[in-house]
Each structure stands twice: as C-alpha cells, then as structure tokens.
Structure 1
C-alpha cells in the first residue's frame, strides 16, 4: 500500500476523476508493479479487501481468475463502483472464469443498472467470440426497447452490444443499423480525431469497411 501511495500522481488523479475513477496511479506504472509481483492470489484478495481502487486494480492484475467462486465474483462486482475497477474485473477476471456464463445471465437481468452493464459486457464478448446459442434477434429487440432510457453505464454497454452484433453478424447488420439510426444514442458524442465514434451506425460501418478493405 505504501508503494502504491508513492505512485500517486495528481495529474493522473485529475484525469481519472473526469472519468469517475478515484485513484491517481498511472496505469502503466501499476502494470509494471504487477509484472514484478507476478501471480499472487492470496495477496490479490488482501488488496481487494482494502477497498482502495488502485489496490483493487493491482489485485485484478495479479489474481488467478479461475480461483474465484461465483458468489465471490458477484460480491466483488457489486462492490466495484469505480468504472475502471468494474471494467477490469469483468474484462480481466470474470471473462476467464468458469462462472462467466452463469454470471452473464444473472447480471443481465439484475435491477441494478451497473450490475446489468456487466452482464451486457459479457454478452458483447459472446457475440464476438461464442455466438452459438445466443438469440441475437432477441437481444436486438431488448436493445431497441430499452437502450434509449437506460442509465449511462448500462446504455453504453447495450450500445456496444448493438454495434458488435452489427459488425460480426451480417444477417443482423441492417436491423442493427436501423435501430442505431432510429434511437440516435451517442450520435453527438464528442469523438477525437482519428477515433471511431461510439454511435452504432458509424461504428458498424467503419469497422466493416476496414475489414473488407483488408
């Protein structure tokens, strides 16, 4: 914890706080520390229990994802309110867990929109990597009915799923584009030069264009 405190950078904290995060550690330096520590699951659990966001991010880098029980991961997600901790927990740990599919189903239906956003993130991963068994038309129906009024974090996750369906599955592309155009979610999102807009029709069209161009 003392070493993490020594990595505190006021400029990094200012940038992170603009994104809703509450730590001031440069993530590159955090990764260097994790590389030195290597996998230490017991230490990861201790770091998580501190409740400190930087410590939790480090914990997610040095833990053993498959060693967590389902209920433990569920409890961790419900504690992880900082966006970066939430994203790393889902992306680096839950996706590698044998409980990922069960948690995906449970979280997507959860009344807490932050928890539900994790379920949608796992669904987006399945859309891209393991779509067999997913009801893609049904997912588009839910997105069409619910995305406009969803809270920000959940809306962002649903929008990513919409774009991923349109990108990966040509048979559903026209409908995904039409839903995105009709709802207009993130249409006016400020996008830096040379970055792809998160507005689903633009996102889908650009990624498909790049793939077809080789």
Structure 2
C-alpha cells in the first residue's frame, strides 16, 4: 500500500510547486489541495501513516499527518518524529495537527521547551503558546516574558518566530502583561520589517497585539 501511495504522490509532483516550496525550505512538489484530496480518499489509516512517515519523503510525511490518528502515537514516538521533522511544513503540521491533539502534549511541552536543538525548542514554544491562549493556569507568564526578553533577539529563525508568537499571544490574551509585552516587542524590533500582504496582520508583536485587541472591542 505504501508503494502504491508513493507512486500516486510521484504522479502529482509539479516542478513549479517544488520551486516555490524550496524557497521556504520545503522539499516537495505536490500541491497541498491535491494532497488533501488524497488524504480525504484514504481516510484514517494509522499503519499506513506510520509506513509513509518511515519513507522520509516530505510529501509522504505530510500525507501521513493527515491520515493518522493523533492519539494513537506513544510519547517517545512523537519525540522521535519531531526530531526527524526537518522541513518547516512537516514540523508545523506535526505540532499543530498531531501533537496538540495528543494526550502526551503536556509531557512533551517542557521537555522540548528547553531542548538545545532550536527546531525542537520551537515546538515546545508552540505548545506553550497554545496554553497561553487556552489554558494559562499554572504558566509563569512573567517568567516567559523574561526568557523572551533575554533570548528572542538572537534566537535562530524558527525559534525566534515561535517566541515572538508567544509574546504576541501573552499581550493579546492577558491585559495585565500587555504593556510589558508591547514594550519588549518595541525594544527588540523582531520582525518589525517583515513583509506583510495587504489585509494581513503584521507579525511584529506590538502591531499584532494592537490589531487583535482592537478587534475584540
């Protein structure tokens, strides 16, 4: 079955799509709408998902993340998968579509958060940002702001992006920390010059916070 699916994915390969994806660090050439259509047809198949993941192929791994059962993975399995997920899209989908739905998410969050590998650490920050928004009880928000203030400016891209998202989320969701979050963003200037399409919100934290807060009033 894995071989049949791999042949189908190979047939969907488009050099133009690959060229665009490679600019973002993603080494695959399958249109994501077509990939989602394949996933819809295959439905949930956990063992096939594991087989596709094991190929190491980026398109196959993206498909695996769409057809797997997030709660079926063991904690150590998810840890291994995250460390194997080197392309941005696979990493993002794994965290957002699978780990966030896993019963092991809260165990993995602190383990990843302080990992020396910045890509792994970025997943810990993404899970922390989810909690900032949905279940902040027990989180040390001031402590998170201390780390962001000290480390975000010099963090590698993926980790910096994740820290910046956490900074913005703290400012948006928690009025008591909003002024400090905006101040940190303004002083560090991280992503201030990020190109933003018309109609989209800038990822620069002070602008992002102000925009989201204004929408709620």
TM-score normalized by the length of structure 1? 0.98
1:207 aligns with 2:193: no
RMSD over aligned CA atoms reads: 0.6
CA separation in 1, counterparts of 2:136 and 2:152? 21
Q: CA deviation at 1:9?
A: 1.3
CA separation in 2, counterparts of 1:19 and 1:75? 23
Q: CA deviation at 1:173?
A: 0.5
**The one of 46, 49, 54 aligned to 2:51:** 46
**The one of 66, 69, 82 aligned to 1:64:** 69
Matches within 5 A, 1:54-203: 54-203=59-208
Specify every segment of 5 or more residues in structure 1 that has no aligned partner in the other structure, as ranges.
Answer: none
Instruction: Give the 3-state SS of the residue equivalent to 1:195 in structure 2.
Output: coil
| Cα-to-partner distance string for 1:36-76 (whole Å, 9 max, x where unaligned) | 10100000000000000000000000001111111100000
CA separation in 2, counterparts of 1:130 and 1:24? 37
CA separation in 2, counterparts of 1:60 and 1:124? 21
Q: CA deviation at 1:12?
A: 1.1
| Cα-to-partner distance string for 1:134-162 (whole Å, 9 max, x where unaligned) | 11111011100110110010000000000
| Number of equivalences | 212
Following TM superposition, the consecutive aligned residue runs of length 4 or more in structure 1 with deviations greater than 4 angstroms are none
| Cα-to-partner distance string for 1:66-106 (whole Å, 9 max, x where unaligned) | 11111100000000000000000000000011110111100
CA separation in 2, counterparts of 1:9 and 1:203? 35
Q: CA deviation at 1:10?
A: 1.4
TM-score normalized by the length of structure 2? 0.97
CA separation in 2, counterparts of 1:161 and 1:150? 14
CA separation in 1, counterparts of 2:172 and 2:30? 35
CA separation in 1, counterparts of 2:146 and 2:208? 19
The match for 1:11 is 16
Specify every segment of 5 or more residues in structure 2 that has no aligned partner in the other structure, as ranges.
Answer: 1-5
